[in-house]
Amino acid sequence: MAWRLSRGKLIALFLLLILITSSLSGFIFYYSVDYSSISFRIESGNLNNNATLKRDIAEKEIGIGLLKTLEAWRYKNFNDISSWPLTQYPRLPYEQNISCLPKKFGYTREQANQLFDPIRIFKTCSFMQKPIIKLEKGQLSIKCKSPESPEYILGESPSKELFGEVEANIKWKRYWIPIDTEDSEYVFAKCSRWKTHAVLTNRFNLTSSQRALNITAKLQKNLKMKEKPRPLSVLLVLFDSLSRQHFYRNFPFTINYLNESVHEGVYSKRFAMYDFIINNAHGENTTPNMVPLLYGHNILKISQKLEGFSIKNQNDWWKFREIQEEALWKYYEKLGYVTMFGYDTIWDFLSYYAGRQILTDHVATNFWHAAKKVYGYTDFLEKQKCFGMHNSHWYLLNYANEFLENYIHHNRFGYIHISTAHESSGTVIRTADIDLKEFLERALYFYDKILDEDVVIHLMADHGKHSREWDLRYEGYLENQLPLHIILANKELIQRLNADEVLKHNTQRLVSRLDWSLTFRHLALVPYGKLGIDSSLYQDMKKNSDTPYAVSLILEKIDDSRQCDQVDIPPHYCTCIEYIEVDLNSTSNQNVTNLLANLGIKSLNQRTKINELGEFCNVSVLNKIISANVQILKDFNGGGNRIYKVLISANEDPEAIFELYGLAAVSVVIPKYLKTDPDGIYPNETYYTRTEVADYEMVLQLQEIVRVDTPNEGCTNFLKSINKTDSLCICKKEYSYIDISGDSD
C-alpha cells in the first residue's frame, strides 16, 4: 500500500513509522523519492530467517579481539564546525615549513581556454522528447504514437553482470502488453530508430538485506554494544580523468550549489565538506591509482598475485574472485554492509585487477555493454552521450540515489565510476554538472529531511585530465597528477569522530592512495565504535599497508615533513618537486637526453618482442627529441638523484609522441633505486658528468614510457581483434585501418 504525503506532515509521520518499526522488526521500509511527493512502500519479510552465517566473517577478516579495542561512542554536545568554501585557488600555508606544497596546480585560465573550447555548450537530452517507458512495480509499459511499433530489450539477470570488455547479446522484441521485468534492472525501449529510451533501476535485494542486518546484529552482540549501531552510508562517486582544476572549470552549478547550501545555506548546520588540494596520483591512468585505493597495496603486488591468470580465460576467473576478497567492497560486506558497484566502461582497465565478476550485492555494468549496441556508446566519444531522456552518466547517479534510498536502516557501501571526462576534447564533462548537482540535491535532502543516519559521500577522481597537449607543459603534468577529491559528510558524524581539525589540516597536505584506502577501511568500522590512534586495531591496519606512513585522514594528521617516496608515489609523478626545462642546446644536457631517448627506443622494441607483436608493429627508430625537463630530487655539487622527462617522436609515425621518464643517480647510490628488469624493458646505462667540483659516474635507467598522443584507432581495433593491447605499438600500415566498431542500432 502507498500514501501520498505533503511535505509538512512528512517528518511527523516518519517518526511515527520509526516507532512502529521498533515493534515490527520484520518489516523493511524503502522509498521512491521525488520532490513533489514521497511515497512509502512497506514489504513484509522476516529479517531473521534464512540468514545464518558460516561463521562471523568480520571476525575472520580482522579479529573480534581487535574489534573489541574500539571505544564506545559518547554522545554529547559538540562545538559547531564550519566548512571552508570551495574555491579553485585556495590559500595554502606557504609560510610554514611544509615539505610538499606545489606552486601551481594546473593550467591557467588562458591555457585552459586554448585547450578546451570555452564556448562549447550542450543541450539537454530530453529536449523535444517525452518519456515512452513506464516502469512501475516491476511492470514495463511502453507508449508510442500510432503507427509506431514499440520494441524493447530486457536486461539480463543481475547474476550475469560482467565487467570490462565483453560483448552484449541483445535482441529487440515486439511489445504488445505490459511486461513483467522479473529481477532485471535495466530496459531499453524504442518507438522508432530515432526514439530509443532507457531505464536503469536499483531493485531491493532481500537476501542482501538479511545478510547485512544479521552481521550487524551479531557484531553488536559480540562487541556488547548497549545501543544499536547507527547506520552509515559510504558512497564513492568517482569521475575518470577529472583533475581538481578541471572540476572547478566545468562544474559551476554544482560548486555554487555546495557553497550556497552546505557552506552557508540550508544544509550548513547539517553537513560539512572538505576539498583535498594536494591529492597526488600514483600514475597517469586508472589502474595504478585505483588498485592501491581499493586493495591497500600497489599495483605491482596485486599483479604478482595474478601472474599467469587472465580475465580472458574463464577457467581463471576463480583467481580474480579470490583477489577480490581483499577489495574494499568485500571488507565492507564482512562488516555488515550492503554493497554496490557501477562502472560505465566497455573496456578492460580495472577489470584486469578485479576480474569479470564483481562480488557486490548490486552490479551495474551490462547496461553499458548493451548501450554500445543500442546507442553506439563508448566512453571515448568527443560528443554528448544521450541515452534517450538523459546523459549516460545520469543513469549511474540515479542508480546510486536509489541504492541509498532502498536500504534505510542498513549500512551501505557504494562505488560508481563515471567516464564522461574520458575523451580528448575536455568539454563533454560539462554535461555532468547539472546531473551531479541534482544527484547531490536529492541525496542531501534524503539524509536531512527523510532519514537521520550517517553518510559520507566522496566526489573523487582516479587521475587528472588528459588532453593531447597535457605533457607538453608543466601545468598539464600537474593537471594529470592532482585529481579531484571532496568529502561531504553529516556534521554529527564529523563531530563524533572529532575529525574536523584533522580533515582541514589534511586537505592542505600531500595525500596518497594508500591514505585513502586506510581511511575507507576506518570508515567501515564507525558504526561499531571509535577507533583510537594508539589502538592495536589501528596499528594493525597501518602495518598491513604498503607503508607505515599511510594514515586515516579522519584520525591522524599528516606530518609536515611528508615526502612522496614515503607513501609509495613514484618520484616522476610527485607534484612536490617542480620540473625545470632543460636547454637542449647544451652539450652536457644533450648527452643525457639523447641517452634517455635511445633507452626509450630500445625499450619500445623490446616490448614489441616480448608481446610477440613483431609481425604487426613497426620497429621504432628515433625521429627527434621534442622537449626535456628535469626534477632535481637531491643535489650535491651538480651530482645527485634526478628525474628526466623527455618527449620524443618516432620515424614510423611522427605524430606518435612518447614521454620517457628516466632516473639518474650516482653509480654507488643507484642500485637501491633500480627497477627490477628481467625482461629488459627498463634498460639502464652509465654516463659521466663533469661539474666544477668533481666528475661523477652516473647511471640512467628508463623508469616509464607514456604514450601522449591518441593511438591510431585502426591499430587499436586490430590489436583487440587478436586479443592484444599495447598502446605503445605503431602498427604497420596494413594493420592500421581495421574497423571492429559495434552496430549502433
Same domain, 557 and 594: no
pLDDT digits (tens, 9 = 90+) for 172-210: 999 999 999 999 999 999 998 788 999 999 999 999 999
147 by Cβ neighbours in 10 Å (0-12 / 13-18 / 19+) ranks as: exposed
**Cα torsion 650, 654, 656, 662: sign:** positive
Measured N-to-C along each axis, helices 536-543 and 513-525 cross at an angle, to the nearest 10 degrees, of 150
Q: What is the mean pLDDT of residues 322-347?
A: 98
Q: Provide the number of structural domains found in the chain.
A: 4
pLDDT digits (tens, 9 = 90+) for 59-106: 445 566 678 778 877 655 555 789 999 999 998 888 899 999 998 899
Question: Is residue 51 assigned to a domain?
Answer: no
Q: Range of 719's domain?
A: 580-735
Same domain, 73 and 16: no
623 by Cβ neighbours in 10 Å (0-12 / 13-18 / 19+) ranks as: middle
Q: What is the mean pLDDT of residues 326-338?
A: 98
Give the pLDDT confidence score for residue 75 in this predicted structure. Answer: 58
Q: What is the mean pLDDT of residues 228-245?
A: 97
Same domain, 270 and 362: yes
Distances (CA, A) of 221 to 51, 64, 73, 335: 16, 11, 16, 13
Edge to edge, the sheet with strand 362-364 lists 271-275, 485-490, 454-461, 232-239, 411-418, 337-343, 362-364
What the block records as the C-alpha cell of 655 is 605524430
Same domain, 397 and 344: yes
Comparison of pLDDT for 657 and 692, the residue scoring more:
657
- Give the residue from 531, 552, 573 where a domain finishes: 573
Stated pTM of the model? 0.82
| Residue 638 scores a pLDDT above 80 | no
Helices (H), 376-490: 392-406, 432-445, 474-481
- Give the residue from 551, 573, 595 where a domain finishes: 573
Same domain, 421 and 509: yes
Give the pLDDT confidence score for residue 698 in this predicted structure. Answer: 87
pLDDT band at 636 (very low <50, low <70, confident <90, very high): low
What string of DSSP letters covers 171-236? --EE--S-EE-TT--EEEEEEETTEEEEEE-----HHHHHHHHHHHHHHHHHTT-SSPPPPEEEEE
pLDDT band at 251 (very low <50, low <70, confident <90, very high): very high
pLDDT digits (tens, 9 = 90+) for 267-296: 999 999 999 999 999 998 999 999 999 999
Question: Is residue 128 assigned to a domain?
Answer: no
pLDDT digits (tens, 9 = 90+) for 542-567: 999 999 999 999 999 999 999 999 99
Q: What is the mean pLDDT of residues 324-338?
A: 98
CA distance 263 to 384: 31
pLDDT band at 588 (very low <50, low <70, confident <90, very high): confident
pLDDT digits (tens, 9 = 90+) for 353-379: 999 999 999 999 999 999 999 999 998
Give the pLDDT confidence score for residue 635 in this predicted structure. Answer: 60
Question: Is residue 56 assigned to a domain?
Answer: no
pLDDT band at 42 (very low <50, low <70, confident <90, very high): very low
The top-scoring range by mean pLDDT among 24-28, 30-34, 485-489, 646-650 is 485-489
pLDDT digits (tens, 9 = 90+) for 453-498: 999 999 999 999 866 544 457 788 889 999 999 999 999 999 999 9
Same domain, 674 and 531: no
CA distance 174 to 379: 29
Question: Is residue 99 assigned to a domain?
Answer: yes
- Give the residue from 573, 595, 622 where a domain finishes: 573
pLDDT digits (tens, 9 = 90+) for 141-176: 999 987 888 999 999 999 999 999 999 999 999 999
**CATH code, domain with 86:** 3.40.720.10
Give the range among 301-315, 428-442, 448-462, 683-697 with minimum mean pLDDT: 683-697
In the three-class reduction of DSSP (H, G, I as helix; E, B as strand; rest coil), residue 153 is classed as: strand
Question: Is residue 638 assigned to a domain?
Answer: yes
Comparison of pLDDT for 571 and 416, the residue scoring more:
416
Q: How many residues does the chain have?
A: 745
Comparison of pLDDT for 435 and 37, the residue scoring more:
435
Same domain, 98 and 168: no
Give the pLDDT confidence score for residue 602 in this predicted structure. Answer: 95
Same domain, 545 and 410: yes
Question: Is residue 740 assigned to a domain?
Answer: no
Residues 324 and 360: beta-carbon distance below 8 Å: no
Give the pLDDT confidence score for residue 5 in this predicted structure. Answer: 45
Q: What percent of the chain has pLDDT over 70?
A: 87
Same domain, 184 and 224: no
Burial 501-537 (b: 16+ CB within 10 A, else e): ebbbebbbbbbbbbbbbbbbbbbbbbbbbbbeeebeb
